[in-house]
């Protein structure tokens, strides 16, 4: 799975403040120092907090995409088409998209720690029920509720870390949470693939459910109590005004669309690739197909390199490169050899994560107020793209095979490139007008 967009850059900037040189040993000094009493490496509670958030990240993304590697087995067992089975993934991501904004407001009143604990508990309990779903409809309904519950984690985790961890240690703390996201998304798919090969898809989902329960218990036992949270009420009208303001910003709208389009491609490819690899001419076993998701590690490298790409090529140049790499990977995946398909997946994954990193970081720089809500809107559009990509990609596969899914991906990439080109031309015109105004 792709690592969810955490809005880390927003949180880091919001939390960062000059380190006070005041002696905090006295109560008066501590009251003046906003960093006093916060968690830091080597201090009490920091290691427990790190392990707790890592466990939460693993559970969240292992559960969110737990059915993706199992779709061919689900289709066969329940006698449903690929596009019908794909809704077991799309329903969960749509539920998360639906829940992330309202739950971020709930966390302001209820508390980050309380919401994260409750979200993990509900999602883990649902995970234990999912293997016993008697029909596809019940399975999709359970996955939708599970996605809504999981939305409490990305809605609260970054704010919790910003409030409880010293600014200088915040990057490392967020890094552990993001690492948990990546490892959870990858391990969930790999574990389910191998378990399903021996004991079936229901047993595989049960294994992920048990893993989520262990992570939820570990989180509850390890996460320290919040010391710096101040409850506040976020009224519906104020929230709507903030969201409407962001959606009224043309540049933010374009960035939301670019993120959604990249995720549409990624969701389509990884939802359908299992069907392609278990069928002719590949005939790969379920365990091997699940292991294909190890290429997610490429995304860690490309997303980290996105900053250097932007520094060298500019944001638009980096987006064009990401589009080009992803498109090349799609075309390469049309070849009927495992090596070519794997190379194509590597390019698709690298291009997607780079494009996602560029777009999400640009949201943080573009929003001048209420950056947390701007980031939440990006997450919402991102996961809507995932839901649409999975459903539409599977429908295209059913109608036209793998070439249909590739065609869908190329159309989405063309749209992303067009939006980027439009933004480039508009920026050039605005710069010319600005120069003319100064000259006058």
Tokens at 426, concatenated: 């508009």
Mean pLDDT check: name the lowest of 9-18, 90-99, 174-183, 353-362. Answer: 9-18
- Rounded Cα gap, residues 139 and 342, in angstroms: 31
pLDDT of residue 195: 92
Give residue 343's pLDDT.
96
Max mean pLDDT range (145-149, 170-174, 242-246, 278-282)? 145-149
Contact (CB, 8 A) for 93 and 383:
yes
In angstroms, the CA 164 to CA 347 distance is: 38
- pLDDT, position 28: 44
Q: What does pTM read for this prediction?
A: 0.78
- The gap from C-alpha 112 to its chain's centroid, in whole angstroms, comes to 19
Tell me: pLDDT of 390 over 60.
yes
User: Over the chain, what is the mean pLDDT?
Assistant: 83
Phi, psi of 389 (to 5 degrees): -60, -45
Whether the bond between 180 and the residue before it is cis, its omega within 30 degrees of 0, is no
Query: Would you give the DSSP letter of residue 295?
Result: G
Q: Determine the average pLDDT of the residues in 340-369.
A: 87
DSSP β-bridge partners for residue 296? none
- Lowest-pLDDT range of 171-185, 198-212, 259-273: 171-185
Rounded CA separation 346/341 (Å): 9
Residues forming beta bridges with residue 13, ordered by sequence position: none
Chain centroid to Cα 258, Å, comes to 15
Q: How many residues in total does the chain contain?
A: 440
Q: What is the pLDDT of residue 305?
A: 79
Least confident of 5-19, 100-114, 164-178, 413-427: 5-19
Q: What is the mean pLDDT of residues 123-144?
A: 97
Predicted pLDDT at 435: 53
Number of alpha carbons in the 13 Å side-chain half-sphere of residue 188: 32
58-62, 269-273, 364-368, range with greatest mean pLDDT: 269-273
- In three-state secondary structure terms, 39 is strand
CA distances in angstroms from 231 to 100, 103, 114, 239, listed in the order given? 18, 14, 12, 16
The predicted-structure confidence for 292-351, as pLDDT tens digits, reads as follows: 888 878 877 787 777 788 888 888 898 999 999 999 999 999 999 999 999 999 999 999
Distance between CA atoms of residues 432 and 251, nearest Å: 18
If pLDDT is split at 50, 70 and 90, which confidence band does 178 have? Answer: low
For each of the domains in the chain, give its residue range(s) and CATH number, in order of start: 8-15+37-439 (1.20.1250.20)
pLDDT tens-digit series, residues 64-86: 999 998 999 999 999 999 999 99
**Contacts of residue 204, Cβ cutoff 8 Å, sequence gap at least 6:** 66, 70, 191, 192, 193, 195, 196
Looking at the DSSP bridge assignments, the partners of residue 165 are 39
Q: Is a pLDDT exceeding 90 seen at residue 233?
A: no
The answer to whether 398 touches 86, Cβ cutoff 8 Å, is no
Cα separation of 62 and 3, whole Å?
A: 11
Q: How many helices (H) and strands (E) does the chain have?
A: 18, 0
Q: Token digits for 328?
A: 């090349």
CA dist., res. 429 & res. 440, Å (int) = 16
């Amino acid at each position: 799975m792709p690592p969810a967009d955490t809005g880390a850059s927003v949180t880091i900037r919001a939390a960062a403040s000059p380190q006070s040189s005041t002696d905090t040993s006295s109560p008066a000094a501590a009251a003046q120092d906003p960093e006093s009493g916060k968690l830091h490496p080597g201090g009490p509670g920091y290691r427990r907090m790190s392990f707790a958030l890592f466990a939460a990240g693993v559970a969240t993304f292992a559960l969110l995409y737990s059915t993706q590697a199992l779709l061919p087995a689900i289709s066969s067992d329940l006698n449903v088409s690929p596009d019908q089975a794909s809704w077991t993934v799309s329903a969960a991501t749509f539920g998360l998209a639906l829940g992330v904004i309202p739950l971020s407001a709930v966390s302001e009143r209820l508390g980050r720690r309380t919401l994260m604990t409750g979200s993990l508990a509900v999602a883990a309990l649902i995970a234990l029920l999912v293997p016993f779903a008697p029909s596809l409809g019940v399975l999709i309904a359970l996955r939708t509720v599970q996605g809504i519950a999981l939305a409490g984690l990305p809605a609260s985790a970054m704010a919790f870390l910003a409030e409880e961890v010293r600014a200088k240690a915040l990057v490392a703390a967020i890094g552990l949470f993001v690492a948990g996201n990546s490892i959870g998304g990858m391990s969930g798919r790999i574990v389910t693939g191998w378990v399903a090969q021996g004991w079936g898809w229901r047993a595989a989902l049960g294994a992920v459910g048990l893993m989520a329960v262990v992570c939820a218990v570990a989180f509850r036992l390890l996460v320290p109590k919040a010391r710096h949270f101040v409850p506040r009420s976020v009224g519906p009208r104020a929230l709507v005004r903030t969201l409407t303001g962001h959606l009224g910003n043309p540049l933010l709208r374009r960035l939301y669309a670019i993120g959604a389009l990249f995720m549409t491609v990624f969701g389509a490819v990884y939802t359908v690739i299992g069907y392609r690899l278990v069928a002719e001419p590949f005939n790969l076993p379920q365990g091997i197909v699940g292991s294909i998701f190890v290429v997610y590690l490429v995304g860690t490298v490309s997303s980290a390199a996105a900053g250097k790409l932007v520094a060298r090529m500019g944001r638009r140049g980096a987006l064009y490169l990401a589009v080009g790499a992803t498109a090349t990977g799609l075309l390469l995946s049309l070849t009927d050899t495992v090596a070519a398909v794997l190379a194509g997946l590597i390019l698709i994954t690298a291009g997607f994560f780079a494009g996602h990193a560029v777009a999400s970081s640009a949201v943080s720089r573009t929003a001048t107020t209420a950056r947390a809500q701007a980031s939440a809107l990006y997450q919402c559009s991102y996961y809507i793209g995932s839901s649409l990509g999975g459903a539409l990609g599977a429908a295209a596969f059913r109608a036209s095979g793998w070439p249909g899914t590739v065609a869908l991906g190329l159309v989405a990439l063309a749209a992303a490139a067009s939006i980027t080109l439009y933004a480039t031309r508009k920026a050039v015109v605005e710069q010319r007008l600005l120069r003319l105004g100064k000259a006058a």
